Amino acid sequence: MSYVIGADCIDVLDRSCVDVCPVDCIYVGERKSYINATECIDCGACEVECPVSAITADRAALKDGRWNTHLEDSRTFFSQPLPGRDRPLGDPGGARLIGDVGTDTALVSDHPAS
């Protein structure tokens, strides 16, 4: 199990979740952050810290269409090449190793600005 970041994070990018993540599995796009499910250890620190309640467990996201969309989108963020990149991010082993990604999936890029 892991966690997923939903729509309430778009254009917020508070980074409180990034600061408390003990395994550095939260990657920052241009408008939203994404949790790498393979690297996540299911500690829940990010969910508690998020000031806009934009994070939930993936098992809860599976049962809710609004969250499920972002669960699938998070998988896309890591498994498909993002705009301006030749290869998928995959599992880099920590967000600090690559820095801010600076781009998002189509779902987030096409989301109306808040």
Q: Where are the alpha helices (DSSP H) in the chain?
A: 16-20, 45-49, 58-61, 65-79, 95-98, 106-109
Is the pLDDT at 56 greater than 90, yes or no?
Answer: yes
Is the pLDDT at 81 greater than 90, yes or no?
Answer: yes
Burial 95-108 (b: 16+ CB within 10 A, else e): beeeeebeebbebb
Is the pLDDT at 18 greater than 80, yes or no?
Answer: yes
Given a contact cutoff of 8 angstroms between Cβ atoms, the answer to whether 109 and 83 are in contact is yes
- Report the alpha-carbon distance of residue 76 to residue 80 in Å, rounded: 5
- Report the alpha-carbon distance of residue 66 to residue 108 in Å, rounded: 13
Is the pLDDT at 5 greater than 90, yes or no?
Answer: yes
pLDDT in tens, 94-113: 999 999 999 999 999 999 98
- Percent of the chain exceeding pLDDT 90 equals 89
Tokens of residue 105, six digits: 């999936």
Q: What is the mean pLDDT of residues 14-26?
A: 96
Is the pLDDT at 64 greater than 90, yes or no?
Answer: no
Q: What pLDDT shows up at residue 1? A: 73
Identify the structural domains of the chain with CATH numbers, from first to last: 3-90 (3.30.70.20)
- Percent of the chain exceeding pLDDT 70 equals 100
Relative to beta strand 26-28, strand 3-5 is: unpaired
Q: What pLDDT shows up at residue 114? A: 72
